[in-house]
Amino acid sequence: MSHLPTDIEALIPDVSAWRGRRVIAAMSGGVDSSVMAALLKHAGVEIIGVFLNVWDYTREEVTRHGSCCAIEDAYDARRVADLLEIPFYSMDMQEAFREHVVQPFIDDYELGRTPNPCERCNRFLKFGALLQAADALGADFVATGHYVQRTDDADGFHIYKGFDPKKDQTYFLATTTREQMARILFPVGHLEKEQTRKLAEYFQLPTASKHESQDICFIPNGDRVEFLKREGAQLGFREGPIQDKQGNLLGTHPGVAHYTLGQRKGLGLADGPWHVVELDAKNAAVIVARNDEMGVSQVIVEDLSWLADVHDHPDLSVKLRYQSQPSSCTIEPLDQGLWQVKLQTAQKPTAPGQVAAFYIGDALVGGGIVQRVAS
């Protein structure tokens, strides 16, 4: 790579092990996946670009969606593929997306849970569907633009947090199975975001200055409550009491779907601050507590998937919210596929439906979904 400028050459990952192999490039139309595809093409990897069409944006009254997988993103992904001179396919995944992501999202809010649609999209579509496409097209791997690092050695593959701590996305991939993860590559995981943009400019990619997606892709205007009502949700909008942990009535609310655990704004309560610590959908009750009462000491986790057999490791830690730091923990199996996670130090509340991501140091070793929370 001596022909590259020195500052650019320093940013190019060593993907020589994949040279000549066929790889599906998951192209979302953003700068990260565009640079991922450009790096693989530059390294001599045989890549096929695939865009997942998951939602009908003609129903949305917005001009620019600001989220992944929108109409403009499909166009941008194809422009990048044309520039790189690689094959490109758009897969219609709207029915599967409705089944595995949108309907569970609605159902969870009806039950007082706080779902993580990006996690479900990764687990059931991006990796499920793309690995099926890889099999159909004779490809060995799927590559994404996630900020995740992977190393391979004699013991197999290892997954680590992205080099840029502000962009690390291992949390959203924690429920990926070992079999899936073995076939996923992350060419931009060693980069900081500005370095990614620098490479995009060097490769003259049309997405170099494109803004990052922020909203949930199927709620482009950001109004979750309006979306749930439009989709026919009813149970989550029953009026009910706001109570403290002792059962004292503090006020009323218009429905548990309006709230999430840890929320403190918009409660309309005197003598605060109060924080939401439980959503009792069965009784349409919102439970709140003060700062000194809101710590979480254990959670019950379901749908757990391990990337390594380390559940009894003394340095195991768990991350219960994307913006939090991992906390030291122990974990024990229960009946019916459930696991009890005990935290050494009480943490801020997390919500049923959110991800519990397990680490040893910077290595991601597994993850599951929080079923319930205990103080």
| pLDDT tens digits, one per residue of 58-83 | 655 544 444 555 678 899 999 999 99
Residue 118 appears among annotated catalytic residues: no
Angle between helix axes 71-84 and 31-42 (nearest 10 degrees) is 20
Residue 65: its pLDDT value, please? 45
Q: Give the list of residues 6+ apart from residue 13 with CB closer than 8 angstroms, or none.
A: 39, 187, 190
Q: What is the pLDDT of residues 149-180, one digit of tens each?
A: 999 999 999 999 999 999 999 999 999 999 99
How far is the C-alpha of 296 from the C-alpha of 300, rounded, in Å?
A: 11
Domain 20-145+187-202 listed as CATH 1.10.1740.10:
no
Give, in degrees to the nearest 5, the angle at Cα 89 between 87 and 93. Answer: 160
Query: Which residue is catalytic, options 68, 118, 121, 329?
Result: 121
The H-or-E segment that residue 33 falls in is: helix 31-42
Query: Which residue is catalytic, options 68, 69, 217, 329?
Result: 217
Domain 234-293 listed as CATH 3.40.50.620:
no
Instruction: Enumerate the domain spans of the chain.
Output: 20-145+187-202, 234-293, 296-374
User: Could you tell me if 60 and 220 are in contact, meaning their C-beta atoms sit under 8 angstroms apart?
Assistant: yes
Q: What is the pLDDT of residues 238-282, one digit of tens each?
A: 999 999 999 999 999 999 999 988 888 889 998 888 999 889 999
Residue 217 appears among annotated catalytic residues: yes
Residue 64: its pLDDT value, please? 47
Phi, psi dihedrals of residue 320, rounded to the nearest 5°:
-100, -10
Q: Give the residue from 148, 187, 192 showing the smallest Cα distance to 40.
A: 187
Residue 79: its pLDDT value, please? 96
Residue 156: its pLDDT value, please? 93
Is pLDDT of 3 > 90? no
User: Could you tell me if 332 and 339 are in contact, meaning their C-beta atoms sit under 8 angstroms apart?
Assistant: yes
What is the average pLDDT value for the chain, to the nearest integer?
A: 91
How far is the C-alpha of 120 from the C-alpha of 107, rounded, in Å?
A: 14
How far is the C-alpha of 76 from the C-alpha of 99, rounded, in Å?
A: 26
Is pLDDT of 31 > 90? yes
Q: Are strands 156-161 and 363-374 parallel, antiparallel or unpaired?
A: antiparallel
CATH architecture for residues 296-374: Beta Barrel (2.40)
Helix (H, G, I), strand (E, B) or coil at 327: strand
User: Could you tell me if 186 and 148 are in contact, meaning their C-beta atoms sit under 8 angstroms apart?
Assistant: yes
Looking at the chain, list the stretches that DSSP marks H as alpha helix, in order from N- to C-terminal side: 6-9, 31-42, 71-84, 94-97, 103-110, 117-120, 128-136, 178-181, 193-202, 224-230
